Structure 1
Amino acid sequence: MDVDALEVRKEELRLEEVVGEGTSQIVISEPVSVPEPKPVVASVIDFAARTRITRVTVLPGKVVVDGVVSLSIIYEAQVPYQTVHVFHAEVAFSTFVEIPGAEPGMVAVPVVTVEHAAFEVLPDGRTVVVRMVLSMYVRVVRTAIVEVVTDVSGIPGLQVTKEMIKAETVLGEVTAQAVVREQLTVPETKPPVVSIIDYVATANVTTTTVLPNKVIVNGVISLRVIYEARTPYQTVHVAHFTIPFERFVEIPGAQPGMAVVADVAVEFVALDVTANARGITARIVIEITAKVVRVQTLQVVTGVTGVAGLEVEKELVRVQEVLGENTAQAIVRELVDVPPEKPPVAAVLDYSATPEVKRTIVAPGKIIIDGAVAQRIIYEPLMEPTQTVRTLHFTVPFSEFVVLPEAKPGMVARVFVQVEHVNFEVPPAGEPVMVTKVLMLTARVFRTRQVTVVTAVTIGKPACTGVITANLVNVREGPGMTYPVITQVNVGTQVSVLEVTSDWLRVRLPSGQEGWVFAQFVRHDCMPRG
């Protein structure tokens, strides 16, 4: 065998490898109250439920998921005309799913589905006990670097088996720390602060923007401060604050239009009370992780046979394979009123538009995307002598869908929204401005696929050779008559002897198949006979 003739092509993949998956069911029983202005409840007619994940925490071997179920409860009122009303309520939940191999720092993707709900109206008519069954599915992924073999050639008789993989690969991933400093003011309705007892801080990414070789990450930090008040009884109070942040990370190769997955975590919080006791100085250290992903279709080698003496190394990978992907365009039109305190618009000079996905629903054959576009326009005012340039901020909601035949409820989906074009129709007399936006929506659904890929092919050390000395000699799975027969060989067949025992030889056939043959049927040069 010509060693130099063997050609092995490899490619390094940065895959979103699935560490593990798990499911759990949650049973919730929670009373909710009908607001006072509404009539009391006679019976519940129907409901609508939406789930929202508020926090995901990856611990060793498990994932903790916190969230809220938002309910719209339609009911028949206990009044003479039996009118139908609706009230809204929120029920919080917290659960965990055991996933062996999960470790802090990995990414967990939860999917929550309301499977069943029942309602019991208490005698007072103002309290309804909600009993729900939630189904939780969690997938934990990490970025894995795998060098896979994509082709093997150069030696006659090689039989190479390949499989196609369509998966998200990571173009680049960066983790960076940032310090957010903010001067917070305690609301006037609350007493001044003597000392801070405790705090709870969480961070969420709201939007991401891809620029050449960098990614801008916008988000908010939700801070809840528990403090001792400057009152005669030293009462304990809580104050809530929302702190926005904007940071960027450099990712070589990133380009506008690419997809980004970003996460943020609070690492450290320092809070100091100001001298006037009405302010809090906050210093918050956050860790931002951003990765630019792209869909890549690749043929990988899963088996190499046909030539004796090859050593093939394999590795089992669990990839998050793209089962389906599609795009759609949507046109969103909205009449925007200029607030009375601002002058009407004469002409729009510049604008910015940032889309945010608030909710994603995987329905049969489609992905429903709810979100909003935050816009800022810079405009020249109408009939203002100084012509001072003004700004106007507004948010336009949208609800669209992307047709995806492979989509089924319960699947993991990933969506991306881009604002491709914005047009402004400014009326001459200062009426509301018509804003038209063209959105590009991309949706993907995934499945976990296990693939044993070839990672290396080399020519092994020369093996002992042998010749079969009889016809219809059985080749077995193991060294003994009780093992199943794999195939049969005839006199004159050349074999490579891989292992020698007292009565049996492990051999490799010309086809590359391996098995055990009774030693008396093989003439070989591995050891003296007799």
Structure 2
Amino acid sequence: MALGSTLFLTRELPLAARKIKKVTGKINALNYIILTDKIIVQGVFHKQVFFVGTDDIVHHLSGDMPFKTMLYVPGARPGMTARISAEIEKIRTKLLPGGDSVLTEAIIKVTATVEDAASVTLAPGTDATVLAELVVGESSAQVLVEDTFILENTARKITEINSEVVIQNTELIEGKILVQAVLHNQVYYVGEDDVSYHQAFDMSVSGIVEVAGAQPGMKAYVEPVVELSEAYLVSPGEVFLKAVIGWNVVVVDELLTNIGISALGQNYRVNVLVGQPVTHRHKVESRVLLENEASKVREIKANVSEISAIIVKNKVIIQGVLHKQIYYVGIDGVNRHQAEEVPFSTFVDYEGAMPGHVANLNAGVEYSAFTILNPREVLQKNIIAFNIMVLDPQNLPVILEQGTKVRIPRIVGEATGQVVVSDTEPIVVEGLTVTKAPIVVSEEQAGSRQTQVINTVNVFPPAVGLGETQCEVKNVKITPLENQVLVEGDLSCDVSYIGPDDVVYRIRVDDRFSVLVPLAGCLPSHVVEASAEIEHADFDILPGGDQIRLTIILRAKVRCIKEETVYVVTDVKGPGVTVEKLLVKVKIPTGEIVQLYVVTEVSGGGINFQKRTFVLELVGVGVSPIDIVVDVF
């Protein structure tokens, strides 16, 4: 049936594939196990297969294909660490005879570098500047933990116990490291019915290790060792667990140092500094609605957590969460507490930064202030200071000497291998007749964000008063990124001021601005529009009159427009199947506006369906969001 020049497509199932259109894949859940002289690397290959069915519609199927390979690395030992990567070298798909199944094969290249932490002394040199971890001190301590637990089944004897320590948190104070962990115990026992059972028990463990020279802000490496683990039956239904845990601690302090590199020798992994470290400040402003009315706010404590960085060419994008603890007194005189988490993102220009580099970030709340707007609402302002270094990890034969130690990974060995994964998956769907029609839908997302430009200019002769000042935004440029848009431009201000001789002087101040506007779902392939406007401008004469400070608040506004052709279900027929429909007015690929019945609900027949929400014109009602069925399977 034709609708203008647009065809309804009817899928009469069973459905088979006519040809493969595209196949993509990615590697997930990559991990490793190190054994003596070898490493086992395992992961999951996630495939996406797009095929043209006998209904001439492109369909999709996906699936996970686990893989595992073993690489030989002489010198590797349990307890060492590794850096692993997996790269898809080739994907091949083939339709089996009849088109009812598809064979997927992938060749995956796996690379593993085994490392062992070493304490060495780097010789001074001029070959590279690296971020090294200076060893402040090393120490060890022991702690005894014991407890009694109830067994799920009465026991005749304990046959085995395996224990593992999982570090949960470490905290450095002056001269000490506080360690919190969980001892995970696996107990195997024989019941009174002569059946073997297993039960897990967790025991909280904490300890204090003294290390001279340790200070807050340093880094601690804690290696737990289960030195003793025993289990005894107290009674047929109770087990007593006892363990001795050893903590081996190394405290380090990061510093930049210049080193020498030799032509030959043992390789170590060093973090080579890219460019020069930079500092950055970011303002986070939020309003919080209190759970109870407040007579006063006593204190707001703020800290930064969940810091992460994305490196693009010559820029570092920073994301994190500002965690706040609000302490206030209610109108009933009761002290209350409320927590708030404010996500934030910002970016900094960093010359030489490239994808594949890593960012070393130190962040702290530099300034905090709050204003009570009303008994239920508080305005909070925070300035976060960042120290940023971009590093390029490299395996280099560094020159060593006697002296102060640094902690650095020694390259034990590297190995590369290939693994082939394959899978055959049926693609036949039976029992339905599904009719679809193409419509054109557009989605528009909008977002905005403020930024502040502060510029201090020297003036001569000195200023005693300010005259008329005008500012304008020019040359706005946008760079669409995934889920965010970078807006940049020029800011130009004509400033007039009065000198001590009552003469009006004029100067021109030019500056740049840039702001990262978050816009979830927006991609570089979409149509993006942006503008920037000045919301507020302040001009102040600084003491002495030799400088004028300009404070400009701008707002960048972004629109992301996506237009796509989608197939919507207009009818479903099958045994025991019922549908609900609505009449809508839509645009079709030819550009015409037509009326069309679309399916909004499907029931019966034991089938599944997928919906999407579109903003469409419902005939006789008006524009409204509508959930429409787009596929049935």
* TM norm structure 2: 0.43
Task: Name the one with the larger strand percent.
Answer: 2
* TM norm structure 1: 0.49
